[in-house]
């Protein structure tokens, strides 16, 4: 049964109308795992070099990641030299670590059916101290386009935040003028006061949607559950009218940062939680791991096609928190809560995540009530549920269903009215 749910129809966000990033971008990025390691003598397998991106591209194509939708290989900081070309003033890739150059790397990646992302900074230098784009936005946009890149992440170190309202849009126009479709990822909001979303009626957020395909909202993610949880807590936004939730949609996405799945810091439960919730958030799914050394369990999470389909749902509604035990006294003593998250999908069904944030104890029963889902009404309605981790249909329920959820873990379902 299909429903038209008034509250879920987005207000008029004006957005880039260039056909790019109609669903949240997917892929891999070097930053969290490989940082700015430029010492290829000591670390030949993990330094920032063309070999790292080639090897990753090969694995993405051969190990099923590309087939599952992960189609970007993204270079992050520390790929360039410290000085521009003295004759052309163009940016240059480090000749020792990228001897074939970025254009040749793009060809290598394209030949495997993948796309290449590059990184730069709107300021005078990148966060790692490499070449920034300030005062050269048009030149650099043209150089990067001539190298055939497909995505550009633009960081915000070494620039006064007051200038960014001018420079980020200017770069958006410069990228468009190159004629090459390039997905534009803006770090602008991550440099603003955390209240920027609500300030001036959400003006910055609306502007972001007009000029960027995705933007980072919050702190850099790290390979530990405290960091990942703090990002999840930022998204405990419980209204579809919230300016942050409203502004997400096809062509323009909130970016809660990279997936830590397949790294060292998260338990299996925590990895399941991050993946399920990133799908609820309609988040870009950008891994940052070593695909040559990844456990079978982590790989299975990353390749869960049913959860990827939720993330990539064409309607592009970002989901929200719909219920939490916070303040109910229920389990508060143990420093955690149980939560219900939901995301409306294109066909009128909902993706639902039941989360247990306690870090001690045993599995807790968490209840989904049909009345928690916007548009399903206050009365008890009949619905079906499918478990997206077990890949199992669970049958029919009336009014509510209950699942046992382990500490630091989630269960994820698709529920549909019958
Ligand atoms: C440039 O912007 C126009 C207007 O939004 C759009 O139609 C076109 O596809 C864009 N071109 C590129 C290369 O992004
Ligand atoms: C939703 O947000 C409101 C306002 O901040 C708060 O009072 C309410 O408790 C929240 N509900 C949930 C389910 O977290």
pLDDT, tens digit, 9 for 90 and up, residues 347-369 = 999 999 999 999 999 999 999 99
* 7 pLDDT higher than 80: no
The whole-number pLDDT of residue 13 equals 61
Å from CA of 212 to ligand 1 middle: 12
pLDDT level of residue 332 (50, 70, 90 thresholds):
low
Looking at domain 3-311, its CATH class is alpha beta
Measure 126 CA to ligand 2 centroid, in angstroms.
39
Nearest-ligand number for the alpha carbon of 328: 2
Within the chain, all domains assigned CATH 2.60.40.1180 are found at 320-417
Ligand 2 proximity of 238 Cβ (cutoff 6 Å): yes
The confidence band for 9, taking pLDDT boundaries of 50, 70 and 90, is very low
pTM: 0.95
- d(C-alpha 193, C-alpha 8), whole Å: 28
State if residue 341 touches ligand 2 by the CB under 6 angstroms criterion: no
Specify the length of the chain in residues.
418
Report d(CA 238, CA 235) in Å as an integer: 8
Give the E-state strand segments of 56-165 in sequence order: 72-74, 115-121, 151-155
Q: Which distant-in-sequence residues (6+ apart) come within 8 Å of 105 by Cβ?
A: 50, 53, 54, 98, 116
The predicted pLDDT at position 194 comes to: 79
Beta-carbon count within 10 A of 57 CB: 25
Q: Is the pLDDT of residue 273 over 70?
A: yes
Judge: domain 320-417, CATH 2.40.30.10: no
Q: Would you state the pLDDT for residue 307?
A: 99
Q: Tens digit of pLDDT for each residue in 93-133?
A: 999 999 999 999 999 999 999 999 999 999 999 999 999 99
Predicted local distance difference test score (pLDDT) of residue 10:
45
Ligand 1 pocket by Cβ (under 6 Å): 17-18, 176, 179-181
The verdict on the CB of residue 340 being under 6 Å from ligand 2 is no
* Model confidence band, residue 329 (pLDDT cutoffs 50, 70, 90): low
Distance between Cα 18 and ligand 1 center (Å): 5
Ligand 1 centroid to residue 17 C-alpha, Å:
7
Distance 179 CA to ligand 1 centre (A): 7
CATH 3.20.20.70 region(s) of the chain? 3-311
Does ligand 2 come within 6 angstroms of the Cβ of 134? no
418 confidence band (pLDDT: 50, 70, 90): very high
pLDDT band at 335 (very low <50, low <70, confident <90, very high): confident
Q: Annotated catalytic, 155?
A: yes
- Neighbour tally for 53: CB within 10 Å: 25
| 8-state DSSP, 336 | -
Quick check: 399 pLDDT over 70?
yes
The whole-angstrom separation of Cα 142 and Cα 144 is 6
- Tell the residue nearest (CA) to atom 3 of ligand 2: 238
pLDDT of 333: 66
Ligand 2 pocket, 235 CB below 6 A?
no
Tell me which of 155, 311, 313, 409 is the catalytic residue: 155
Task: Identify the active-site residue in 18, 58, 219, 220.
Answer: 220
Question: Going by CA atoms, what residue is nearest to atom 7 of ligand 2?
Answer: 238
For the record, the structure tokens of 398 come out as 């009336």
223 is catalytic: no
The full DSSP string for 325-340 is -TTSSSSGGGT--EEE
- Residue 247 per-residue DSSP state: T
Contact 169, 203 (CB under 8 A): no
Question: Which residues have a Cβ under 8 Å from the Cβ of 34 and sit 6 or more positions away?
Answer: 46, 47, 48, 52, 76, 288
Rounded to 5°, the CA angle 395-397-400 comes to 140
Predicted confidence band at 231 (pLDDT cuts at 50, 70, 90)?
very high
């Amino acid at each position: 049964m299909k429903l038209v749910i008034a509250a879920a129809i987005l207000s008029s966000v004006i957005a880039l109308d260039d056909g790019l990033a109609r669903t949240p971008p997917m892929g891999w990025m070097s930053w969290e795992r490989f940082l700015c390691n430029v010492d290829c003598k000591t670390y030949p397998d993990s330094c920032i070099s063309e070999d790292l991106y080639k090897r990753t591209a090969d694995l993405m194509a051969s190990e099923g990641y590309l087939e599952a939708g992960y189609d970007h290989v993204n270079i992050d900081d520390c790929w360039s030299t410290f000085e521009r070309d003295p004759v052309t003033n163009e940016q240059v890739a480090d000749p020792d670590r990228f001897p074939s150059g970025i254009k040749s790397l793009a060809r290598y990646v394209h030949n495997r059916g993948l796309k290449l992302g590059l990184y730069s900074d709107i300021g005078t230098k990148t966060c790692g101290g490499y070449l920034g784009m300030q005062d050269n936005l048009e030149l650099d946009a043209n150089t990067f386009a001539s190298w055939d890149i497909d995505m550009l992440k633009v960081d915000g170190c070494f620039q006064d935040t007051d200038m960014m309202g001018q420079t980020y849009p200017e770069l958006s126009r410069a990228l468009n003028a190159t004629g090459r479709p390039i997905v534009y990822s803006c770090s602008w909001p991550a440099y603003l006061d955390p209240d920027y979303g609500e300030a001036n009626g959400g003006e910055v957020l609306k502007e972001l949607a007009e000029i960027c395909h995705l933007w980072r909202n919050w702190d850099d993610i790290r390979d530990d559950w405290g960091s990942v949880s703090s990002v999840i807590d930022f998204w405990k936004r419980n209204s579809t009218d919230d300016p942050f939730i409203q502004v997400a949609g096809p062509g323009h996405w909130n970016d809660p940062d990279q997936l830590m799945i397949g790294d060292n810091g998260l338990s299996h439960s925590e990895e399941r939680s991050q993946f399920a919730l990133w799908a609820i958030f309609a988040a870009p799914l950008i891994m940052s791991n070593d695909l040559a050394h990844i456990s079978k369990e982590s790989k299975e999470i990353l390749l869960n096609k049913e959860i990827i389909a939720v993330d990539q749902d064409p309607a592009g509604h970002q989901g929200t928190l719909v219920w939490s035990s916070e303040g109910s006294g229920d389990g508060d003593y143990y420093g955690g809560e149980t939560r219900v998250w939901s995301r409306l999908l294109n066909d009128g069904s909902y993706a639902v995540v039941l989360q247990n944030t306690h870090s001690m104890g045993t599995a807790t029963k968490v209840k989904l009530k049909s009345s928690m889902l916007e548009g399903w009404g206050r009365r008890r309605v009949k619905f079906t549920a499918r478990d997206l981790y077990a890949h199992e249909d669970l049958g029919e329920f009336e009014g509510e269903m209950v699942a046992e959820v382990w500490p630091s873990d989630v269960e994820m379902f698709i529920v549909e009215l019958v």
